[in-house]
Amino acid sequence: MAILGWPQGILKFKIKGKLGRPDIPDTLGIWGIYRVWRRWGKEQCFKEKFYVPYNPRTEPQQANRMKFASAVAAWQALTPEQKELYNKKAANLNMSGYNLFISEFMYG
């Protein structure tokens, strides 16, 4: 069973090792999903049942995803000089040029 650790905040994790037998589920029906959280300087293991997130695929959601995909494609089409301009512009805003570009594309 894999232990997932969250080394740098809540959005990143890494596999830290294996526990038990991954071919046999436990009493909760979990096939080895473990998370390791760091609290007060100590690592704590939590076992969580695997779930598939709800994804309604509504029309507004799909439209927003298409707009975001267009924003990413537009960023990738920029020249390195244009990207550098966004990076310089974003330096005072505590964000990357990529984030600034996507934000302006989506909302501006």
63-78 pLDDT tens trace: 999 999 999 999 999 9
Q: Which residue has the tokens 């473990």?
A: 34
Distance CA 65, CA 106 (A): 10
Classify residue 103: in a domain, yes or no: yes
**57 and 51 Cβ atoms separated by less than 8 Å:** no
Identify the residue whose tokens are 């990529």: 98
Q: How far is CA 15 from CA 5, 28, 81, in A?
A: 6, 21, 38
How many domains, the chain? 2
Q: In angstroms, rounded to a whole number, what is the distance separating the alpha carbons of residues 101 and 86?
A: 7
Inside any domain, residue 54:
no
One domain, residues 38 and 68: no
pLDDT digits (tens, 9 = 90+) for 45-67: 666 666 677 899 999 999 999 99
Residues 63 and 95 in one domain: yes
Judgement on whether residues 43 and 12 belong to the same structural domain of the protein: yes
% of residues, the chain, pLDDT over 70:
56
pLDDT tens digits for range 14-37: 555 555 555 555 555 555 556 656
Range of the domain at 82: 59-107
102 shares a domain with 66 = yes
Residue 36 within a domain? yes
Same domain, 39 and 64: no
> What pLDDT score does 53 carry?
77
Is 53 contained in some domain? Answer: no
C-alpha dihedral (101, 104, 106, 108), degrees to nearest 10: -160
Distance CA 104, CA 98 (A): 10
